[in-house]
Amino acid sequence: MTPRLQLRGISKSYPGVLANDDISLSVLPGEIHAVLGENGAGKSTLMKIIYGATPADGGQILCDGREVPEHGPAVSRELGIEMVYQHFALFESITVVENIALSMPGRMDLKGLAVKVREVSEKYGLPIDPDRLVLSLSVGERQRVEIVRCLLRQPKLLILDEPTSVLTPQAVRKLFETLRKLSDEGCSILYISHKLDEVRELCHSATVLRGGRVTGETDPRTTTSADLARMMVGSDLPEMLLQPSELSTAPLLSVDNLNMASESHVGTSLTSIRLEAYGGEIVGIAGVSGNGQGELAAAISGERIASAAEDIVLEGRPVGHLDAGRRRDLGLGFVPEERLGRGAVPPYELSENALLTAHRKGMVKHGMADRNKARDFTMQVIDKYSVKAHGPDAKAHGLSGGNLQKFIMGREIELSPKVLLVSQPTWGVDVGAAAYVRQTLIDLSRSGRAVIVISEELEELFEICDRLYVISNGALSQSLNRSETNVEEIGLLMAATGSRDQDAEQRAEDMKYAV
Amino acid sequence: MLFKVEARQEPSRKMALAAPLIATGLTVVISSLFFLSLGLNPFVTLYTFFVQPLTTMNGISEWLLKASPLILIACGLAVAFRANVWNIGAEGQLIMGAIAAAGVGLFSPFQESIFLLPLMVVCGMLAGAAWAAIPAFLKARMNTNEILVTLMLTYVATLILSYLVHGPWRDPDGFNFPQTALLPYAGMFEVFDYSYRLNTSIFFTVVAVILAWLFMERSFLGYKMAVGGVAPAAARFAGFKSSSSIWVGLLVSGATAGLAGMTEVSGPLGQLSSQISPGYGFAAIIVAFIGRLNAFGIVLGGLLLSLLYLGGETVQLSLGLPSSIALIFQGMLLFFLLASNFLINFRIRAIAVRAH
């Protein structure tokens, strides 16, 4: 059978990053093909190239055996390639059918179109009322509108970018039914995800990406989650850069039986989290994204307040009831994964951003902010942490990801925290800055502080951590020593609990099967 | 040729200065066409609107007298708006401030005392703040929408005022007019000159502008509130409490509105009646935004809006234009002003269309 879509040696680089490196894959008619990979693995870039939204630097795209010479979204439409983006492009203040009409060629015929929308939505089990205003629709319903919009053009290849990240488990079931029906009719589907259980349930074949390269091509129905996880996070781990160090006698931070309900239906609830971090070590928290990392970071930092004071203990003092500012006063530093808008205020100057947390270093006198002190502090951070910025009055959103991360890390470390929690320290950070950030964390831990790193990059965790925990489905594993564990064990822990509605017994079953 | 609206990387400083000029230019052009179509000479009309009111001492006195409460209220509102706290009910807080001040002035035992006026100032501010404390409490505790609550409380305040001046507080010697007796002399601000109405309460506005600038641009609390408005996640990250922004924002804006109400009764009005404000509380919202939530910008915004009020009256009197035409003109200028502010943060670029 001629493949519906074939990629040969696709490459694409952005300044400082090779987003796609010699990627080849092929999708048969009616096949549901998964593209698996962690954040930053190059999935989204690849999809944009296939859809024609971004030109590739090199390589060939073949559709039904014919090469696509000059690609673009208009060409895609002619070829029958449609894409449902992760972020919807709908106008809220007009109705569903009006939104769809905007993307249809030819004259606008709202009545006729509404009839067609009803037909398609009933046929594929995507109930949607064409006359409703988009602003009254839930996220799941909006996604249906996007899918219906694509289906109206009778696509031959449908691309879905992380479609379930915004859906409840029930909505995921419905979506899968629709996709299977489409596949039975011969429509090929490219399904981008990092959720192993979904891919194993839905897809016929999978291409796994890591760091912009293909690291595996398998049939996910017969591959274990552990194997898929390994392909995603890599197995060739670097040597540890760490020297052993003296640990503090008592943990600087301990979390004891922390439970926290999720704030929204797409979040993850935390259950019985137990964690300890001693001075002099780096503790890593591994896991596939969306398993409660964000919630855990917010609970420890104090952005969300845990139920009881004793749930979180900092240097022997219960802090579970205190907000982020009070915890910082007591020596808990935090560097969040979102640098713009959370770790820093985007339109503010660096010196104004210094004030955000470093105001406790004598920058406030009689209620007034001391701008000179804030400037001096900022200069010091810029120098000491080699932040590339034109000065303390550079706006935070003008800095590159790596430089802003250096600034935020520097700011937090200069507050001399006893415990530093860092979430995704090297997301969107170029290679040089990433190495610098990791070394800074190592140095900090070796000076007697406790460092906790939440990361989805297993390589990174193995490089810098003394101990590891694995988070999955809102629960934390036992502590694992870096020197005594291996990728297989971690992959199992990550994968075994990867599914949302599996209970503990089933997890144990999985473990036996995989071993 | 297609046009594309793009967010600017940085707000344009040039545009920040040019926007009011662009707006004025557009208003002059469009309104001239509008006046011509009505058979009016645009030069004469524009002159009557903008210049003639300021050619007499009385005109300047009235100009400042009207600008003062607008600026005072807008300063308080800017503090709240910067923190994304939307107090739309300054009008109600103004009325409550006026009621409290008049109540003290008319019924307290200090009728002749020099402390009467300061006491009225304090009570006016407290009453305005207390009226704003209701939505603050509801928002901080139960997350109600402060836009709705402040707005609805404005109607409640209007009804309380109406009840008082029609009922218990009505002047027995006032020929049944819905108004109270005149305030005692000790409860009134001094005028600068007996021919004009401008009084010493304008110093409160001057002080309020300076304090608002210090608070918003230099104080740490002002910084914390602004962070909460621009990047709520960053405020949570830093541990700044959103409830304190809600309280401070509403109490400060309530107090300034209450003070404005007090300066009206102790100034040009001299008594309570069923109509004590020509909508200063609502117009101050416009002033705050024309001034781009900056204390000194608000001064300019207040002077402009006050001039529009006067100009509207002048064209009615001297050219015999209907008041609706004055309103259309005012609306046009405000529309262009706020619309051209868009260009500070966005730019419009022509893009070439690729043929297929």
Q: Residues of B with CB below 8 A from A74's CB?
A: 356
Per-residue burial over A358-369, b = 16 or more CB atoms within 10 Å of its CB, e = otherwise: bbebebbeeebb
Q: Is the minimum CB–CB distance between B239 and chain A shorter than 8 Å?
A: yes
Verify whether the Cβ–Cβ distance B231 to A346 is below 8 Å: yes
CB pairs under 8 A between A and B: 69
Higher pLDDT, B306 or A430: B306
Nearest residue on chain A to B228, alpha-carbon basis: A345
Q: Round to whole Å and give the CA distance between B49 and A282.
A: 72
CA distance linking residue B251 with residue B136, whole number of Å: 8
Evaluate whether B241 touches B247 at the Cβ level (below 8 Å). no
State pLDDT tens for residues A432-460: 777 888 889 999 999 999 999 998 877 78
- Report the range out of A132-146, A277-291, B96-110, B336-350 with the highest average pLDDT: B96-110
Nearest to B263 by CA among B63, B62, B64, B65: B65
Local confidence band at A468 (pLDDT 50, 70, 90 cut-offs): very high
Residue B75: which H helix or E strand, with range? Answer: helix B57-82
Strand partners, B131: none
- Residue B213 in tokens: 């600038």
Indicate the residue of A326, A344, A352 with minimum beta-carbon distance to B239: A326
Which one has a higher pLDDT value, B12 or A334?
A334
Quote the CA–CA distance of A511 and A323 in Å, as a whole number: 39
Report which DSSP code applies to B277.
-
* Residues A381-407: tens digit of each pLDDT: 999 988 888 889 998 988 877 889 999
Q: Is B324 on the interface with A (CB under 8 A)?
A: no
Q: What sign has the CA pseudo-torsion B160, B162, B166, B172? A: positive
Please check whether residue B241 touches A, CB under 8 A.
yes
B interface mutation test: which of A356, A359, A404, A412 has the most B CBs within 10 A? A356
Alpha-helix runs per DSSP H in A414-457: 431-446
Q: What integer pLDDT is reported at residue A89 of this predicted model?
A: 82
Nearest CA in chain B to A372: B218
How far does Cα B190 stand from its chain's mean position?
Answer: 23
Structure tokens at A184: 């039975």
Residues 6+ positions from A157 with CB-CB distance below 8 Å: A4, A5, A27, A63, A79, A80, A81, A82, A187, A188, A189, A190
Query: What integer pLDDT is reported at residue A166 of this predicted model?
Result: 65
**Band of the pLDDT at A236, cuts 50, 70, 90?**
low
pLDDT of A39 over the 70 cut:
no
* Span A169-220, pLDDT tens digits: 677 888 899 999 999 999 999 998 877 788 889 999 999 988 888 988 999 9
Among the partner residues A301, A325, A369, nearest to B240 by beta-carbon distance: A325
Longest dimension (CA), chain B: 86
Residue A239, pLDDT score: 53
Picking from A74, A348, A368, the nearest residue to B218 by CB comes out as: A368
Alpha carbon B133 to its chain's center: 19
Instruction: Domain ranges for chain A, please list them.
Output: 5-233, 239-331+417-515, 340-412
Predicted local distance difference test score (pLDDT) of residue B24 = 82
Whether A189 and A32 have beta carbons less than 8 Å apart is answered as yes
Q: Encoding tokens for residue A192?
A: 């981008």
State whether CATH 3.40.50.300 applies to domain A5-233.
Answer: yes
Would you say residue A504 has pLDDT above 80?
no
A364: chain B residues, CB-CB within 8 Å: 220
Burial class (CB in 10 A: 0-12, 13-18, 19+), A22: middle
Check if B13 contacts A (Cβ < 8 Å).
no
Residue A338, classified by CB atoms within 10 Å of its CB into exposed (0-12), middle (13-18) or buried (19+), is: middle
Identical fold between A5-233 and A239-331+417-515: yes
- The answer for residues whose C-beta is within 8 angstroms of residue A257's C-beta and 6 or more apart is A272, A273, A274, A311
Task: Return the pLDDT at B255.
Answer: 98
Chain A interface, best mutation among B236, B237, B243, by max A CB count within 10 A: B237
pLDDT-derived band of residue A16, with 50, 70 and 90 as boundaries? Answer: low
Which residues of chain B fall below pLDDT 70? 1, 9, 351-356
Q: Which of A23, A38, A424 is nearest to A194 (CA)?
A: A38
- For A351, the token pair is 């010196």
Q: Which residues contact A17 (CB under 8 A, 6 or more apart)?
A: A212, A430
For residue A394, the chain B residue with the least C-alpha distance is B10
Contacts of B220 in chain A (CB under 8 A): 355, 359, 364, 367-369
Check if B234 contacts A (Cβ < 8 Å).
Answer: yes
A364:B220 CB<8 A: yes
Token pair, residue A353, equals: 């951003």
Quote the CA–CA distance of A265 and A166 in Å, as a whole number. Answer: 9
| ipTM for the predicted complex | 0.81
Bridge-based pairing state of the strands A419-423 and A368-369: unpaired
Query: What is the predicted pLDDT for the residue at B112?
Result: 87
Query: Is the pLDDT score of A498 beyond 70?
Result: no
CA distance B197 to B264: 11
- Among the residue ranges A81-90, A289-298, A371-380, B44-53, the one predicted with the least confidence is A81-90
**Nearest-CA distance B11 → chain A (Å):** 9
Distance CA A384, CA A414 (A): 10
Kindly state the tokens that stand for B128: 């305005």
Judged by CB atoms closer than 8 Å, whether chains meet at A342 and B220 is answered as no
A239-331+417-515 under CATH 3.40.50.300, yes or no: yes
Q: How many C-alpha atoms does A315 have within 13 Å on its Cβ side? A: 13
